[in-house]
Amino acid sequence: MAAIVKICGIRRVEDALVAAEAGADLIGLMFAPSRRIVDIPTAKGIVTALRQSARGAQVQVVGVFVNETPEQISAIADEVGLDWVQLSGHEWPEVAASLDRPAIKAVRFDDHASEHAWLAQEPTCDSPPLLVDANVAGSYGGAGVVGDWDAAHDLALTRPVLLAGGLTAQNVAAAIAAVQPWGVDVSSGVETDGVKDAGKIYAFVRAVRGA
């Protein structure tokens, strides 16, 4: 089965629609402090535009949060119309269990106690996918640094893994071959000067589909 493609850090309607037309399965909206953060009205506009487009209606929207309360996550998810929630901080498993929609949990092999709790869980058919990103000091993702593919591969043997960290159209096929992930996640790898680049988005999705 082809790897799922997530284009993260979407900030504009036109970029969301390009991602949809290129064949992305998921787009990510940042609700945590970041240069890619979106406000609620912008996020709602992006979701509305996707739902009103033929291809965009098939794309699911992921809200990315860092160390936020479950109540605030759920309130934003309901208002914006998110399909998924991504927990990218040091959230404990209980946070995901308290949410009313599917979650993705980011791990960076950073030796934090909360991450140990996630990795120690016995995998089940309902286990949230784990997004494996690079461990970069002071960063909760989107740094454009390649992560530990060997560790990601070992994790992917027992859990659905969404591989992130420094992926581009040039290296994503090799990453898929090495890790065999459930999906891949890209943000900076499809940007030019910090702005989403339509040509790079199309090239990335083509490289994934051809892997």
C-alpha torsion sign, points 169, 36, 58, 124:
positive
Domain coordinates in residue numbering, the chain: 4-209
Q: Would you name the residues annotated as active-site residues?
A: 8, 133
Distance from C-alpha of 182 to C-alpha of 66, rounded to nearest angstrom: 23
The alpha carbon of 120 is separated from its chain's Cα centroid by a whole number of angstroms, namely 22
Mean pLDDT estimate for the chain: 94
Q: What is the pLDDT of residues 81-130, one digit of tens each?
A: 999 999 999 999 999 999 999 999 999 998 899 999 999 988 888 889 99
pTM score of the predicted model? 0.94
Confidence grade of residue 203 (pLDDT, cut at 50, 70, 90): very high
> What pLDDT sits at residue 74?
97
Residue at 101: amino acid letter: R
For the domain with range 4-209, which CATH number is right: 3.40.50.300, 3.20.20.70, 3.40.50.720, 1.10.340.30?
Answer: 3.20.20.70
Report percent pLDDT > 70 for the chain: 96
- Per residue in 47-76, pLDDT (tens digit) is 999 999 999 999 999 999 999 999 999 999
Q: What is the pLDDT of residue 138?
A: 65
123 compared with 29, residue with greater pLDDT: 29
Spatial neighbors of 195 by CB under 8 A, at least 6 apart, are: none
pLDDT confidence of 135, banded at 50, 70, 90?
confident
Residue 52's pLDDT is 96
**Lowest mean pLDDT, pick from 32-46, 79-93, 139-153, 197-211:** 139-153
What local confidence, expressed as pLDDT, does residue 143 receive?
64
Query: Where does the pLDDT of residue 139 fall: very low under 50, low under 70, confident under 90, or very high at 90 and above?
Result: low
Q: What is the pLDDT of residue 141?
A: 64
Count CA atoms closer than 13 A to 37's CA, side-chain side.
10
DSSP 25-82: SEEEEE-SSSTTB--HHHHHHHHHHHHHSTTGGG-EEEEEESS--HHHHHHHHHHHT-
Share of the chain above pLDDT 90, in %: 86
For residue 168, give the amino acid letter.
Answer: T
* Partners of 191 in the β-ladder: 196
pLDDT band at 193 (very low <50, low <70, confident <90, very high): very high
Q: Are 172 and 186 in contact (CB under 8 A)?
A: yes
